[in-house]
Amino acid sequence: MREVAIIGVGMTRFGELWDQGIRDMFAEAALKAMADANVDKIDSLYVGCMSSGLYTYQEHIASVMTDYMGQRGIPAARVESACASGSVAIRSAFMEVASGMSDIVMAGGVEKMWDIEDGTFVLATASDQEYEAYTGVTFPGLYAMMARAYMHQYGLTREELAQVPIKNHKHSVHNPNAQYPFEMDMKTVLTSSMVADPLRLMDCSPITDGAAAVILCPMEMAKQFVKNPVKIKAIGAATGPIALHDHKDLTRLDAVRLAGERAYKMAGLKPSDISFAEVHDCFSIAEIIVAEELGFFDYGKGGKAIANGEATYGGKIVINSSGGLKAKGHPVGATGVAQVIEAVEQLRGTAGKRQVENAKYGMTQNMGGSGGSSVVHILEAQ
């Protein structure tokens, strides 16, 4: 199996992109990635997208994107794993390059979420339709149950939970592509509208339009194109129950733990080796549970550790230097790819005021639904 590098990255600004359609956004990100990689042709394409058919009524988007970005004729496919679709696209591209089937492969992600009047039902398709969506339970409700269980079991306070979005918004200020690049204080979080007790509006990631793309090639070829390739050292993936009631413990996400364990094993690394991590903070409680499942904090200690500054600059590990899903935005199909782009920028040393000092290994964790799937990447600076 060949070693694989990322040689190019590109993304749109995340937000309400009313002047761009789904193909415009993807073409922008794809062409930026190709320019960054110094290539004018790719061998293959994987597009991560959760639900273009429901959001924009456009299926068969692999054909649309290859045509619109000027790469007509190449093999391409859309891949889907709910909010983890972008990461699965990268995993698919990695396997194609590692196997020797192709040399220059693009993995992208895209979602156009603002063009539909009410997208709640679209996101709910990532939950259990018969036992959750049918009864009216939404993802804020599911994660609220997880938050209540965690608070009851471990004594996490509402104020400590609020420190997750406060931290991530502080990180987002220096991210030019973030949807909401502004700081917020405790009062703003605790007085925002109640969504599903105990989660308030400022605990929830937003609806977002956006696209992101990366270019992969064999490590042995990487420096023919760029001076600063980033190695994909490991990928771990796993699935879990789609329905929350089938989880053995509402404070745990087994798919995240399994994906993390597989990535650590493939990389030959441990949690203490990781300089920074981009994790799936779709809701405040998600970042806490994920940080524990990845081994950064002991079970039951993650919430208080984050509240005490252990997940920001100067702490044990920097989590969500980009601002995370909460502040950067969450165009679900593009989210996992954007996480990898943040990791690449950190490992290249080009993250500006977001730069993590002496970054050697970076991790990304992306998941679908309430832990129904999860993908973990470990990247290495060269």
70: its two tokens: 């000027």
**103, pLDDT greater than 90:** yes
Collapsing DSSP to helix, strand or coil, 374 comes out as: strand
**118, pLDDT greater than 90:** no
Place of tokens 């007085």: 191
The confidence score (pLDDT) of residue 119 equals 87
Per CATH, 4-118+207-222 and 136-204+232-381 having the same topology is answered yes
Question: Which residue is catalytic, options 171, 247, 280, 330?
Answer: 330
The domain ranges of the chain are 4-118+207-222, 136-204+232-381
Q: Quick check: is 280 catalytic?
A: no
Q: How many residues does the chain have?
A: 382
Q: Which of 298, 301, 237, 241 is nearest to 265 (CA)?
A: 237
Mean pLDDT of the 200-227 span: 98
If pLDDT is split at 50, 70 and 90, which confidence band does 74 have? very high
CATH 3.40.47.10 fits 136-204+232-381, yes or no: yes
Supply the mean pLDDT for the chain: 98
- In sequence order, what DSSP letters do the residues of 151-214 get, joined into one string? HHHH---HHHHHHHHHHHHHHHTT-TT-SS-----HHHHHTSPEEETTEEGGGBPPP-BEEEEE
Mean pLDDT of the 358-375 span: 98
Sign of CA dihedral 201, 289, 86, 364: positive
Select the CATH number that applies to the domain covering 4-118+207-222 from these four: 3.40.47.10, 3.40.50.1100, 3.30.530.20, 3.40.640.10: 3.40.47.10
Mean pLDDT of the 247-264 span: 98
121 by Cβ neighbours in 10 Å (0-12 / 13-18 / 19+) ranks as: exposed
Task: For residue range 131-159, list pLDDT tens digits in order.
Answer: 999 999 999 999 999 999 999 999 999 99
Task: For residue range 295-339, list pLDDT tens digits in order.
Answer: 999 999 999 999 999 999 999 999 999 999 999 999 999 999 999
If pLDDT is split at 50, 70 and 90, which confidence band does 87 have? very high
**117, pLDDT greater than 90:** no
Q: Quick check: is 169 catalytic?
A: no
The confidence score (pLDDT) of residue 120 equals 87
Gyration radius (Cα) of the chain, Å: 19
**46, pLDDT greater than 90:** yes
The confidence score (pLDDT) of residue 53 equals 96
| C-alpha–C-alpha distance, residues 350 and 354, integer Å | 9
73 by Cβ neighbours in 10 Å (0-12 / 13-18 / 19+) ranks as: exposed
Question: Which residue is catalytic, options 49, 83, 204, 282?
Answer: 83
